[in-house]
Structure 1
Amino acid sequence: MTIESDSEGAIDPGAIIGGSHGHRIATKIRAATLAYLWKFSDDPVQLQIEFHRLKDDPKLQAAQTAARRFNNLIKYNTTAESVDKIPSDRLRLTLKTKNADGTDTWYEEEFDFLIVAPGHNSRILVVGTSESAIDVTLQSLPYTKSPIYVSQRTHHPRFPTVFLRKGVEVPPTIERIEGDAINLSGGQVLKSIDTIVFATGYFYTYPFLKHIRPAVQGGKRVPGLYQHVFDMHNPNIAFIGVVNGSLSWLTWEKSAFLAALLWSGRIKLPPIEEQRKWEARRVAETSPNDKMFHILAKPSERVIYFDELNELAADYLHTDAPDDELLRSFPWDWIVSLGTGGARKAQYYGIEV
């Protein structure tokens, strides 16, 4: 006897063993475990995030506890690719197991009975265009009802065909949502959508600073920031995390370290006139799209940005014993990696380039 299932089927063996009367029981589960976790790549280019579920979900914990009793019967990372009838009314399953090294092992097993328990997968609508929308869609494909709908106003600038694949539909844009009806432009209506995921980015807004600096107009650019970090209106305020596409965690640490050096008197910023010139140049480079002001879209921009931040600490680096761990130049191997990042990401997304 075999059970072909996703996580929900892991509880079934206990209910079946009592009445199995000596039949061999085997459970095949698509997932690596009964819980998915965030997994980050060491590669600076591709931050690959795997589909996850909350570890503290009570239902998930119950399933894990039940499954542990039958670990000798369960085979993870395994899917049934086909089922064929053979003589004596038995069933032959063609199975595929994904190995830790990325290869697949194909094999066949024969059983008397088959229970299919894939669970009740939800219908999803993803709203958005960029990497977040792509990741949510592609990582959800094996676990949701087909198709996943993706609503977008524009195509991704580098991967415009990423959603042209089996299991994904790109309907017209959303006009309004009324109850369980999602009304689209052109008159189409989507119903029975269980989950809507908004992967539309965010706007910059700092209402708590409205009394001491100009408000952010339109939410796309924070005016008066030198190097996306230092407030030209208030020298005792720094913004960490505004710049985008810059190897986020390393940039955040580098920016915070520079702010600490500035406020401890170990470095100085250029005169305010030079800071304003820098901002004006950046506006000219990204005009008329304010949204691109804080986005370092090209690998060359990221390298230059790191160098410019490091130059701010030149005086500090000339002292006797500087702590320069966070003030190093952009590593050469990272530059090479970024240069090939577009093609590698396209390959990861399953797009031919």
Structure 2
Amino acid sequence: MPPIKSVAIIGAGPAGIISINALAQEQVFDRIRVFERRDRAGGCWIEDPDSHVQQLPDLERIAERRPDETLEIPLELPTTTNRNTQHRFSETTVYPALETNIDAQAMAFSQEPFPEERTQLNIERHGKDSPFRHWKVVEQYLQKLENGQEDRWWQETFDSVIVASGHYHVPFIPHTPGLCKLDADFPGMVQHSKAYRKPETYRDKRVVVVGASISGPDISFTLAEYAKTPVHSVVRGKYHPYFFDYAFQHPNIVRRPPIARVVSNKEDNVRKVVFEDGTALDDVLHNLPSPFTAIRNLTLGYQVDYIIFATGYTWTLPFLPQIASTIRNNRLPNLYLHIFHQSEATLCFVGAIAAGFTFKVFEWQAVLAGRYLAGRVSLPPLSEQRAWEEKRMQYKGDGVSFTALYPDFEAYFEEVRTLAGEPREGKGRKLPRFETWWREGFYRAHLVRIEMWKRGNERARKEKEKEKEKEKEKEKEKEKEKEKEKEKEKEKEKQKQKQERVGEAGNGGFGCEDGLEKEKEMEKERGGEAGN
């Protein structure tokens, strides 16, 4: 391979930033250029302005995993054009309460630890030693770039390209009969978790949340304290191996089977969800023989206000259409060690993995890519690279699970570190050995989140019990009031009868006073007879 002197890096998120650092430390490249579509570095950790409204431009194309098309390149270059209006899914997932999912120090780059800064919400949730960091702390961990308001087109040649653009931009929403019509009839009702910002938006609204991976449990759990209860959580298959079903044990959450179809009618304001086989609560369906009844095609018996799909993302590469066309089952094939493309090893990927130690795994990949492009590392023959991929497919499957490092973190980190080797002549970034505490911190952080859910569930259950006790007290008070009313009615009836008897005595020829005296005498006589 001829010497690599120029490298283009696509993306200035965490993977792109560490790639810049790794390449720069090799000290052999004449030109390292970064291409970033946002006005700042940070990738999916950048906050969008409050005024920004996320769009779902075409649900059919989203369901078919082909929504992010390649832009048409101008015939003459260089040129400047008006900013293209084609939707590019550049919005981020950041919402006010977002925080890291794993221990911050296990997540951080090996030479740049996270600040110890914690927000008040973070402390309230997990304590003063919280292993997590608020998104703002993560954003500040990164750097700003120049703002751009036009599309500038030019052609530039590089010896190598590192793709560090991430794969959490284009939302995936599965095909659901009636969903496109519902979205057209009631814009904004169908949402993806990427657009979720604050729970107050859903206060006293009827919400269905679809998904049980990372964001699904978080959103369902949070909305259980805001939305009109119960929150309906649709769970398909198994729960996430990190979190299980703890978030869904909240008493204000009801678990539902997958959605079979949705029904909408704009004129009549109809917005209904039809589930597959399942169970129903009596506040959902009426006239059932019991509160819990197994039925087919369960219909939510009231209008739904929001359906939030926390159903993951589609991996797209609109700037590499030929490579993108090979993506199958949401996995990019032909990547050795998830980094080197087998058809052209100078095309490298950093961050093409899942269920790993973000950001740390990006560092390992970037250093190995940098060493290779610097000519200091050799890759095995193509046959061995293909054998590696085939073996992993047999172990993990030919889908998203192929890219998941869980649970074999150490094996992958050490394989990459060993191939990268040590820096030469003080040039290059040094990779430390895998530390067992990273894995321990990874799992411990999940337990911290689970404990947060457990506390919230217990608190909500106690609140429910208090509400029940209050209802019982109210019922008792109502019963007392009823008894009082009965007593009053009895007394009224008694007085009425008494007045009637007085009237009858008066009609017998007595005056008013004589009538009363006569009544008393008659009462005495009746008493005497009773005594005898």
Could you tell me the TM-score, scaled by structure 2's length?
0.42
In the alignment, which residue of structure 2 is the partner of 1:161?
245
Q: In structure 2, which of residues 269, 272, 296 is the aligned counterpart of residue 181 of structure 1?
A: 272
Correspondence list, 1:25-36, <5 A: 36=96
- Partner residue in 2 for 1:197: 308
Deviation at 1:205, TM superposition (A): 4.0
Q: Is structure 2 residue 128 aligned with structure 1 residue 43?
A: no
2:305 and 2:324 map into 1 onto residues whose CA distance is: 42
Residue from 170, 186, 192 that aligns with 2:255? 170
Q: Which runs of 5+ in 2 are unaligned?
A: 1-94, 108-119, 129-201, 265-270, 277-295, 458-532
1:263 and 1:236 map into 2 onto residues whose CA distance is 7
Instruction: Provide structure 1 residue ranges, at least 5 long, that are not aligned to the other structure.
Output: 1-34, 48-75, 78-97, 103-118
The aligned residue for residue 303 of structure 1 is 410
Residues 51-84 of structure 1, C-alpha deviations (whole Å, 9 max, x = no match): xxxxxxxxxxxxxxxxxxxxxxxxx99xxxxxxx
What code does the residue aligned with 1:321 have?
G
The 5 Å alignment of 1:5-154 reads: 36-40=96-100, 43-44=103-104, 120-154=203-237
User: Does the 8 A contact of 1:45 with 1:341 survive in 2?
Assistant: no
Partners of 1:207 and 1:215 within 8 A in 2: no
Q: How many angstroms does 1:147 deviate by?
A: 1.1
Which letter does structure 1 place at the counterpart of 2:404? Answer: I
Give the 5 Å matches for 1:259-338. 259-287=369-397, 290-298=399-407, 301-314=408-421, 317=422, 319-325=424-430, 327-338=431-442
Question: What do the CA deviations read for 1:168-208 (whole angstroms, capped 9, x no partner)?
Answer: 01122111223222222233223432222111123334465
Which structure ranks higher in relative contact order (CA pairs < 8 Å, sequence separation ≥ 6)?
A: 2
Counterpart AA for 2:433: S
Q: Could you say which residue in structure 2 is the equivalent of 1:249?
A: 359
Contact 2:204–2:228 (CA under 8 A) maintained in structure 1: yes
Give the Cα separation in 2 of the matches to 1:169 and 1:100: 25
Contact residue 230 and residue 239 of structure 1 kept, 8 A:
yes
Deviation at 1:340, TM superposition (A): 4.3
User: How big is each residue's C-alpha offset from its partner over 1:237-257, in whole Å with a ceiling of 9 and x where there is no partner?
Assistant: 122222111112222233233
CA contact (8 A) 2:423 2:429 kept: no
Q: CA deviation at 1:294?
A: 0.7
The CA RMSD over aligned residues, in Å, is 3.4
8 Å CA contact 1:44–1:247 kept in 2: the answer is no
Q: Measure the CA separation in 2 of the matches of 1:181 and 1:218.
A: 31
Q: Answer yes or no: is the 8 Å Cα contact 1:125–1:150 preserved in 2.
A: yes
Query: Separation in 2 of the partners of 1:260 and 1:204?
Result: 24
* Contact preservation (8 Å) 1:206, 1:215: no
**Following TM superposition, by how much is the alpha carbon of 1:336 offset from its aligned partner in structure 2, in angstroms?**
2.8
Contact 1:126 1:151 in 2 (8 A): yes
- Cα distance in 2, alignment partners of residues 161 and 100 from structure 1: 19
Give, in angstroms, the shift of residue 160 of structure 1.
4.4
Identify if the C-alpha distance between structure 1 residues 214 and 224 changes in structure 2 by more than 3 Å, giving closer, same or farther: farther
CA spacing shift, 1:292–1:177, aligned 2, 3 Å: same
Following TM superposition, by how much is the alpha carbon of 1:321 offset from its aligned partner in structure 2, in angstroms? 0.4
Shift of 1:293: 0.8
SS of residue paired to 2:428? coil
> 1:37 and 1:344 mapped to 2: Cα distance?
16
SS of match in other structure, 2:308: strand
Change (3 A) 1:345 1:181: same
Distance 1:46 1:312, change over 3 A: closer
The one-letter code matched in structure 2 to 1:204 is W
Q: Any conservation in 2 of the 1:206–1:216 contact (CA below 8 Å)?
A: no
Contact 1:240–1:252, Cα closer than 8 Å, also in 2: yes
Match of 1:60 in 2: none
- Assess if the C-alpha contact under 8 Å between 1:214 and 1:223 holds in 2: no
Q: More helix per residue: 1 or 2?
A: 2
Determine the C-alpha separation between the residues in 1 that align with 2:126 and 2:319.
49
Alignment of 1:211-222 (within 5 A): 211=322, 215-219=326-330, 221-222=331-332
Aligned length: 248
Following superposition, the deviation at residue 142 of structure 1 comes to 2.0
Q: How many percent identity over aligned positions?
A: 26
Map Cα deviations across residues 3-34 of structure 1 (whole Å, 9 max, x no partner): xxxxxxxxxxxxxxxxxxxxxxxxxxxxxxxx
Larger Rg: 1 or 2?
2
The TM-score with structure 1 as length reference comes to: 0.60
Q: 1:305 to 1:213 in 2, by over 3 A?
A: same
Query: 1:193 and 1:237 mapped to 2: Cα distance?
Result: 47
Which is worse superposed, 134-143 or 253-262?
Answer: 253-262
